[in-house]
Amino acid sequence: MKNPNLESQKRLQHILQAIQTIEEYVKESDSIHFTDTPLLHDAVLFQFTVIGEAINHVESEKLERYAYPWHKVRSFRNLIAHEYFNIKLSAVWNIIEGELPRLKATIEVILENEFNL
């Protein structure tokens, strides 16, 4: 039987790693380069899928202690997986620049507070 606490920790670490991977992928990009480079945006979208899938396996009780719109993370994963034809790459770039730093900071706080990492 899986330990839910350990599973949550591993999934949060996967999320942090996926965020760091996105940061590495786009560190020398701008919105135009991002939208004009299929390999780049495909790689970034995969990492967002990892983030959204991993968040589904983190204990709800842990997430609820932190003020963050977790439903948006799950919804974005579903958009990528099921409504991929409706993805606006400019909106993805806005998420990378605007929301990803906040998500990263929140995940780091959870790992520190809940797991002393």
Residues forming the active site: 77
Nearest to 68 by CA among 108, 21, 18: 108
DSSP-assigned states of every residue in 75-117: HHHHHHHH-GGG--HHHHHHIIIIIHHHHHHHHHHHHHHHH--
Given a contact cutoff of 8 angstroms between Cβ atoms, the answer to whether 35 and 41 are in contact is yes
